[in-house]
Amino acid sequence: MFKKADSAMDFPRMEQEILEAWREEEIFEKSVAQRESGPRFVFYEGPPTANGLPHPGHVLTRAMKDVVLRYKTMNGYHVPRKAGWDTHGLPVELEVEKQLGISGKPEIEKYGVEEFVQKCKESVFKYEGEWRRMSERLGFWIDMDDPYVTFHDSYIESVWWAIKTIWDKGLLYHGHKVVPYCPRCGTALSSHEVAQGYQDVEETSIFVRFRVRGQENVSLLAWTTTPWTLPSNVALAVLADDDYAYVQFNGETLIMAKDLVEPRLEGDYRILRVVHGSELVGMEYEPLYTYAEPEAPAYVVVEGDFVTLSEGTGIVHIAPAFGEDDMRVAQEHDLPVVQLVDAQGRFDERAHGLRGMFVKDADPLIIKDLEARGLLFEEMDYSHSYPFCWRCDTPLLYYARSSWFIRMSDMRDELLANNAKINWYPRHIQDGRFGNFLENVIDWAVSRERYWGTPLPIWVCEECGHEHAVGSVKELKSMAKSLPEHFELHRPYIDQAILACPQCGGDCRRVTEVMDCWFDSGSMPFAQWHYPFENADMFSEAFPADFITEAVDQTRGWFYTLLAISTLLFGRSPFENCVVLGLVLDEAGLKMSKSRGNVVDVWKLFNEHGADAVRWYLYTVNAPWNPTRFYEDGIVEAKRKFMGTLWNVYAFYVLYANIDEFDPSQYNVSYEDRPLIDRWLISRLSGLVGEVTDAMDAYDITQATRRIEEYVDDLSNWYVRRCRRRYWASEMTADKQAAYLTLHESLTAIARLIAPFTPFLAEEIFANLEPALGSVHLQDYPKADA
Ligand SMILES: [Zn+2]
Ligand SMILES: [Zn+2]
């Protein structure tokens, strides 16, 4: 006799019971262990940050990981699943600053770096329990008891080995460059971090008169979107080969690109004469501000190849401290660098009236001041996309800082060649979003002027300036003149390690920077094993990964740093198949955010509808790389349409089989002897297995689930509806036996087929219909007929 199939369909309660059984019988562990001799399928877990709560986007990511890993396991692959945690960097420091009620580096220094770093360490697993609970409830099978953790000394040591290897290749260098800089966090960011934080903003741009020296009432007209950089102006740039006009306009003479006169000037104007840009080069003008006393000749027109005629006036204001092109021009023409802004993005004491102000807040004051002095020509609203700090949402400044860089620009061709070998899902990521990013790759600013991170293992000699990269703890200890009492590969302890200079024997001290935390996570293919210091076999067995999947923002995050680091170290991509997931949005198609109050409560969904319903919805609603609207009604509908239909067929079978005390093991009706409709269903099922297998082998989860859904619909609305009377026959005729057997076989095959997708429902049905075989997750996946 079968267990009665509850018509109430209380899936959440059923799932809770199954979770308990899985735990008790260690089904996950067994499912992995029993395949140990099978071919290896390698999966890398992109490490989340456990100091933040999981959100609906993480439910999608974990559901997609799980379905592939379960599918491969049932197909005979050995699929170990090591969890990982991203524990360093700004995300953690920022949370601790908030928690302590402090903000910015001066306040951290005041609080004490050692205490601060301890707080960071304590906070990194704040929500680990919540992540565990969410993952388990969703049915995501992953080994969370033995995760890799990026702040462990063993992990850091592997990262040090990587840095030293890159150093030995001459690809790591120290440079003074204009870099995107977060004034609140007090550190430079890398281009891939910047790419994650663009927002559309409306700002005031201005046209400014630069009075030509020695010429009455003649001004060079320049345009800027960043008025706060004007006090640091040292030059104006023009295109040497283009025409510039002297224009008579409202009683004054303006100089600007000839082609831009007409679109810019409204009203009567008269072109007095036209000159080549090269004729303007060398022309001197009066500084707008005299805050700084430049060390070299300044306030002069120079040539600049980056000037465009698509916007502005064809004359570009140059502030070398705040722009890459500006810095290059300054170096070419020996212009001074005027830097009136401090590390927190505020004007320093030289800028009288602006002193202490955050630069962006000073814009209106500067505009007012220029207007009062007759130097403002025009104000204009300007909408553009501007980068913000991906962690703290502060507008970034382009800022001359010294920073450590990895010469990724030298690796461009190799990156592109390795990218070409990756199977991207969807395909267009390869040449589109990801390929474009690689085409334009610039050097990776890897150092952060912060506290909680992998310390950059470069020691510099105080005597002779020699720089040495340390690649292991052993090397560090062998070179040490003195070591900190508490030995740990973190600031501030590691900063106390003084090494003997291999050149002159002098004292070497560590540079103060830590590494970009994206370097940590990109190092996981080897650092998770503490390679090369141990586990060389584990590393080689699990490199490269067959499969990774994360959200689309990782094309500039983890996908990039994984590829970058493995290209540098091993000359190849560390992953072969990558499924790129779209954003998870609310019902109206808006991004979910705390401030909007539209974040869906996944626990409510789990508790009221169950994890299978959430999973099935995510798999079927659209291709996973498209944006997914995530809302309760959608999940209810998915549950009704698929799970409800399947459950009704299953309940029908159980009800009549129990009435007839039908035991499938006691009967055998060969296929040839079954009626046509039974043979049709069986052949339909075998076709389905082929379709699902083909789709899943191509990571096409949507196709696979939609085909299953169609089959279940046929099973219910075609087969059972037409065959109902066969089960009502009073005698156990051959026809009735065939009907029971066909339905039984179909339901158990479906249970196996859906096991990767809706693991709970599959388990419930299979356990009841095949009680002798044990968990469905220890079975083989149905094989398509050859
Ligand atoms: Zn920031
Ligand atoms: Zn030395």
Active site residue 558: yes
Per DSSP, helices labelled H in 83-203 are 90-100, 105-111, 113-123, 128-138, 153-168, 191-194
The whole-number average pLDDT for the span 417-425 is 98
Q: How many Å apart are CA 693 and CA 537, to the nearest integer?
A: 31
The whole-number average pLDDT for the span 187-200 is 85
Contact 140, 19 (CB under 8 A): no
The CATH homologous superfamily of the domain defined by 611-617+631-778: Isoleucyl-tRNA Synthetase; Domain 1 (1.10.730.10)
Q: How many Å apart are CA 575 and CA 511, to the nearest integer?
A: 33
Q: Which ligand has the nearest atom to the CA of 104?
A: 1
CA of 145 to the centre of ligand 2 (A): 46
Q: What's the sign of the alpha-carbon dihedral 196, 200, 204, 207?
A: positive
Tokens linked to 586: 């609310």
CA of 495 to the centre of ligand 2 (A): 18
CA of 386 to the centre of ligand 1 (A): 14
508: left (phi over 0), alpha (psi -120 to 50) or beta: beta
What is the SS3 assignment for 460?
A: strand
Q: Is the pLDDT of residue 596 over 90?
A: no
Strands 187-188 and 423-425: unpaired
Span(s) in the chain for CATH 1.10.730.10: 611-617+631-778
Q: Please, which residues have CB within 8 angstroms of residue 724's CB and are 6 or more apart in sequence? A: none
- What was the pLDDT predicted at 295? 80
- Interhelix angle 128-138/56-74, rounded to 10 degrees, is 50
The whole-number average pLDDT for the span 275-304 is 92
- What was the pLDDT predicted at 197? 84
Q: Per DSSP, what are the bridge partners of residue 403?
A: 175
The whole-number average pLDDT for the span 483-510 is 96
Burial of 325 (0-12, 13-18, 19+ CB in 10 A): middle
CA of 94 to the centre of ligand 1 (A): 8
CA of 508 to the centre of ligand 2 (A): 7
Q: Per DSSP, what are the bridge partners of residue 253?
A: 218, 248
- What was the pLDDT predicted at 381? 92
Tokens linked to 402: 């010294």
Q: Per DSSP, what are the bridge partners of residue 371?
A: none
Burial of 366 (0-12, 13-18, 19+ CB in 10 A): buried
Q: How many Å apart are CA 738 and CA 735, to the nearest integer?
A: 5
The whole-number average pLDDT for the span 491-511 is 97
Q: Which ligand has the nearest atom to the CA of 91?
A: 1
Q: Which ligand has the nearest atom to the CA of 459?
A: 2
Q: How many Å apart are CA 619 and CA 65, to the nearest integer?
A: 11
Q: How confident is the model at residue 567 (pLDDT cuts 50, 70, 90)?
A: very high
CA of 709 to the centre of ligand 1 (A): 47
Q: Is the pLDDT of residue 179 over 80?
A: yes
Closest by CA to 321, choosing from 458, 442, 178, 532, is 178
Q: What angle do CA 636, 640, 645 make, to 5 degrees?
A: 165
What is the share, in percent, of the chain residues with pLDDT greater than 90? 85
Strands 545-551 and 575-581: parallel
Given the residues 518, 529, 616, 625, the one annotated as active site: 518
Residue range 200-387, CATH number: 3.90.740.10
Q: How many Å apart are CA 99 and CA 618, to the nearest integer?
A: 35
Active site residue 369: no
Question: Count of CB atoms within 10 A of residue 80's CB?
Answer: 19
Amino acid occupying residue 638: A
CA of 229 to the centre of ligand 1 (A): 20
What is the share, in percent, of the chain residues with pLDDT greater than 70? 100
E strand or H helix that includes residue 458: strand 458-461
CA of 511 to the centre of ligand 2 (A): 15
Q: Which ligand has the nearest atom to the CA of 506?
A: 2
Q: Which ligand has the nearest atom to the CA of 468?
A: 2
Q: How many Å apart are CA 700 and CA 707, to the nearest integer?
A: 11
Q: What angle do CA 553, 554, 560 make, to 5 degrees?
A: 135
CA of 465 to the centre of ligand 2 (A): 6
- What was the pLDDT predicted at 292? 84
- How far apart are the two ends of the chain, measured CA to CA in Å? 35
Q: How confident is the model at residue 786 (pLDDT cuts 50, 70, 90)?
A: low
Span(s) in the chain for CATH 3.90.740.10: 200-387
Active site residue 700: no
Closest by CA to 60, choosing from 585, 578, 423, is 585
CA of 92 to the centre of ligand 1 (A): 12
The position carrying tokens 């690689």 is: 438
Closest by CA to 374, choosing from 219, 203, 264, 236, is 219
pLDDT in tens, 73-101: 999 999 999 999 999 998 899 899 999 99
pLDDT in tens, 632-673: 999 999 999 999 999 999 999 999 999 999 999 999 999 999
Q: Per DSSP, what are the bridge partners of residue 381?
A: 204
Given the residues 223, 558, 616, 647, the one annotated as active site: 558
Quote the mean pLDDT of the chain: 94
The position carrying tokens 């996309």 is: 385
Q: How many Å apart are CA 174 and CA 518, to the nearest integer?
A: 19
CA of 476 to the centre of ligand 2 (A): 16
| Residue 336 CA to its chain's centroid (Å) | 39
CA of 104 to the centre of ligand 1 (A): 9
Outline where DSSP puts E strands in 126-242.
Answer: 143-149, 172-182, 187-188, 198-211, 218-224, 235-238
Q: Is the pLDDT of residue 246 over 90?
A: yes
- What was the pLDDT predicted at 261? 94
Q: Which ligand has the nearest atom to the CA of 97?
A: 1
Amino acid occupying residue 87: T
Q: Which ligand has the nearest atom to the CA of 505?
A: 2
Q: Is the pLDDT of residue 238 over 70?
A: yes
- What was the pLDDT predicted at 595? 78
509: left (phi over 0), alpha (psi -120 to 50) or beta: beta
3-state DSSP of 565-618: HHHHHHCCCCEEEEEEECCEECCCCCECCCCCCCCCCHHHHHHHHCHHHHHHHH
Q: Is the pLDDT of residue 509 over 70?
A: yes
CA of 514 to the centre of ligand 1 (A): 16
| Residue 558 CA to its chain's centroid (Å) | 6
Q: Worst-scoring range by mean pLDDT, 190-204, 393-407, 458-472, 761-775?
A: 190-204
Given the residues 54, 227, 459, 554, the one annotated as active site: 554
Q: How many Å apart are CA 136 and CA 652, to the nearest integer?
A: 31
pLDDT in tens, 316-353: 999 999 988 898 898 888 899 888 998 889 999 998 88
Q: Is the pLDDT of residue 296 over 60?
A: yes
Active site residue 594: yes
- What was the pLDDT predicted at 484? 94
Q: How many Å apart are CA 509 and CA 231, to the nearest integer?
A: 37
DSSP string, 749-776: HHHHHHTTTSHHHHHHHHHHH-TTS--G
pLDDT in tens, 662-681: 999 999 999 999 999 999 99
